[in-house]
Amino acid sequence: MTEKEDLWRAAKLLDGDKAVEEVFSRLEARYVEDWKGSAPDNERKRMEAYYMVRAIDAVRSELTALASEPDILHFNKRLRKA
């Protein structure tokens, strides 16, 4: 087993893990509530919440991409052979 295969396997486990998704959902909800509850003139707090929600989305996307990498590589190899 190569290091990259271990990484893909771990990413697949995390990507499909209900606890991981729950953590992301709770964090996202917390930051959305921070944004909603912030005063209109508290631009700093609003921007921090916005960037945190974006960061959570970016982590989710990267995790999904990493978990899908071996499938994409396999598909591309099949295309090259055809």
Instruction: Give CA–CA dist 26/5, Å, rounded.
Output: 30
Kindly provide the b/e burial profile for residues 9-32, where b requires at least 16 CB atoms within 10 angstroms of the residue's own CB.
eebbeebeeeeeeeeeeeebeebe
Give per-residue pLDDT as tens, 17-76: 999 999 999 999 999 999 999 999 999 999 999 999 999 999 999 999 999 988 777 767
Give per-residue pLDDT as tens, 3-17: 988 989 999 999 999
Whether residue 77 has pLDDT greater than 80? no
Instruction: Give CA–CA dist 15/31, Å, rounded.
Output: 21
